[in-house]
């Protein structure tokens, strides 16, 4: 991390050079992290004229991998991610749960839908495909309740397709029993091996596996968080297309603690890039201020990965960047080895650190 005191010098020798992003670092990770920031001073530099976002050492064969022929049907692409083997696994676990649940009931009410499970029989692969297609189409055709998809009272609101795929009662029976793991194998909450993601982690693992198998991202990457239905995800995606390459579910501090002495953002970045197998390939990562720190930039450089992000005001950095004296639309750049920092004041009355405090790693030594 940077010292709060200034230790920069003005350098005119670097002023007119172009800047290119870095494919790696000649220094080891330990050297990068152990040397005090003031032992390697910051230099004031003039704005780079051109900022190349492409590194010639990036040689990955980016794009789709192992995909069907161009004339393949949409379902063929869908099954690249939700594979037939996994669909069979869902069928097996759903039937297992239904049987175990029904067996555990000493008495089933007269009009319970559980009776229909006995009558119709175990769910089949074809039924499961139809059920999943119904769930997906519910996301496209919005109605106030699930039962409305089978309502025939008003012709103007009738959606016959749903009834043709699966009946209302059968759909609700499958939904009630839907499972993708065997509950009897899961540790209980008091067990040391308990995980809050255990009931769906196998699906996340499948997605990560298939996502890597069928696409190789272009050089620029992005990491961010997203949350829905009470589940928080860390997401590694290709910056240009938004293609999600790796997911990690945040399990909370108790089950997913950040290692001692490490910022959570840096921990997430290293965890995702390592799981994706993208280190030492000249990829360029872009993040917001939650993940960014000067130490992280150094660590990624040592692992052959470039980094650009914004710094929060409470992160350590030289005073020239932390408390710059700038006019409107004015900026200041300082460099320490391969790390470049910039403070920019968007307009008068606004703090520079509330505008665009930026740092990046570059090929410039």
Is 265 inside a domain boundary?
yes
Both 169 and 311 in one domain: the answer is: no
Q: Which two tokens stand for residue 12?
A: 């005119």
What is the number of structural domains in the chain?
Answer: 2
Q: What is the CATH number of the domain that holds 259?
A: 3.30.420
pLDDT higher than 80, residue 52 = no
Domain that holds residue 339: 203-357
In a domain, residue 22? The reply is: no
* Domain end point (choices 118, 150, 185): 185
Is pLDDT of 58 > 60? yes
Out of 185, 214, 243, a domain closes at 185
Whether the CB-CB separation of 270 and 305 falls below 8 Å is answered with no
User: How would residue 37 be classed by pLDDT, with cut points 50, 70 and 90?
Assistant: very low
| One-character DSSP codes across 79-110 | HHHS-HHHHHHHHHHHHHHHHHHHHH-S---T
Q: Same domain, yes or no, for 148 and 292?
A: no
Within this chain, do residues 229 and 348 fall inside the same structural domain, yes or no?
A: yes
Q: Six-digit token pair at 312?
A: 């929060």
Same structural domain, 127 and 175: yes
Q: Do 350 and 214 fall within a single domain?
A: yes
Count of alpha carbons within 13 angstroms of residue 335, beta-carbon side:
20
Tokens of 297: 């930039």
Residues 230 and 352 grouped into a single domain: yes
pLDDT of residue 102: 84
* Encoded tokens for 78: 């869908």
pLDDT average, residue stretch 239-251: 96
Any domain includes 337: yes
Q: End of a domain among 151, 185, 219?
A: 185
**351 assigned to some structural domain:** yes
Candidate from 30-34, 78-82, 237-241, 247-251 with smallest mean pLDDT: 30-34
Q: Is residue 29 part of a domain?
A: no
Label residue 313 by pLDDT band (50, 70, 90). confident
Instruction: Quote the CA–CA distance of 54 and 354 in Å, as a whole number.
Output: 28
Residue 191 has pLDDT above 50, yes or no: yes
**Span of 88-92, 220-224, 238-242, 336-340 with lowest mean pLDDT:** 336-340
Residue 191 lies in a domain: no
| For residue 237, pLDDT beyond 60 | yes
Encode pLDDT of 139-183 as tens digits: 999 999 999 999 999 899 899 999 999 999 999 999 999 999 999
Co-location of 145 and 227 in the same domain: no
Model pLDDT, residue 50: 54
Tokens of 95: 């039937």
130 and 157 housed in the same domain: yes
Cβ atoms of 269 and 291 closer than 8 Å:
yes
List, for residues 68-127, the tens digit of each pLDDT value. 998 999 999 999 999 999 999 999 999 999 999 888 876 777 667 777 787 788 999 999
Return the C-alpha torsion angle 210, 213, 214, 217, nearest 10: 110
């Amino acid at each position: 991390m940077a010292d709060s005191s200034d230790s920069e010098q003005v350098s005119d020798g670097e002023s007119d050079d172009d800047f290119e992003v870095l494919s790696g670092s000649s220094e080891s990770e330990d050297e990068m992290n152990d040397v005090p920031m003031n032992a390697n001073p910051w230099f004031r530099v003039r704005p780079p004229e051109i900022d190349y976002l492409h590194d010639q050492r990036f040689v990955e064969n980016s794009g789709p991998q192992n995909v069907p022929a161009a004339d393949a049907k949409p379902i063929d692409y869908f099954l690249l991610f939700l594979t037939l083997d996994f669909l069979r696994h869902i069928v097996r676990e759903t039937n297992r749960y239904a049987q175990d649940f029904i067996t555990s009931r000493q008495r089933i009410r007269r009009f319970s839908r559980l009776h229909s499970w006995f009558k119709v029989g175990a769910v089949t692969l074809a039924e499961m495909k139809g059920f999943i297609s119904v769930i997906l189409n519910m996301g496209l055709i919005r109605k106030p309740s699930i039962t409305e998809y089978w309502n025939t009272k008003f012709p103007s609101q009738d959606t016959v397709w749903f009834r043709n795929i699966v009946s209302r009662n059968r759909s609700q029976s499958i939904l009630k029993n839907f499972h993708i793991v065997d509950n009897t194998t899961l540790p209980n909450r008091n067990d040391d091996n308990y995980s809050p993601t255990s009931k769906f982690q196998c699906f996340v693992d499948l997605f990560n596996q298939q996502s890597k198998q069928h696409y190789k991202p272009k050089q620029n990457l992005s990491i961010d968080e997203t949350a829905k239905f009470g589940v928080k995800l860390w997401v590694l995606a290709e910056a240009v297309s938004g293609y999600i390459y790796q997911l990690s579910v945040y399990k909370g501090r108790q089950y997913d603690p950040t290692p001692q002495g490490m910022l959570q953002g840096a921990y997430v970045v290293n965890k995702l890039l390592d799981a994706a197998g993208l280190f030492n390939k000249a990829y360029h990562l872009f993040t917001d201020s939650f993940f960014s720190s000067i130490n992280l930039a150094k660590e990624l450089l040592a692992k052959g990965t470039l980094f650009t992000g914004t710094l929060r005001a409470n992160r350590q950095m030289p005073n020239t960047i932390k408390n710059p004296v700038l006019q409107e639309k004015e900026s200041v750049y300082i460099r320490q080895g391969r790390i470049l920092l910039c403070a920019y004041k968007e307009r008068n009355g606004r703090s520079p650190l509330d505008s665009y405090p930026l740092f990046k790693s570059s090929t410039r030594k």
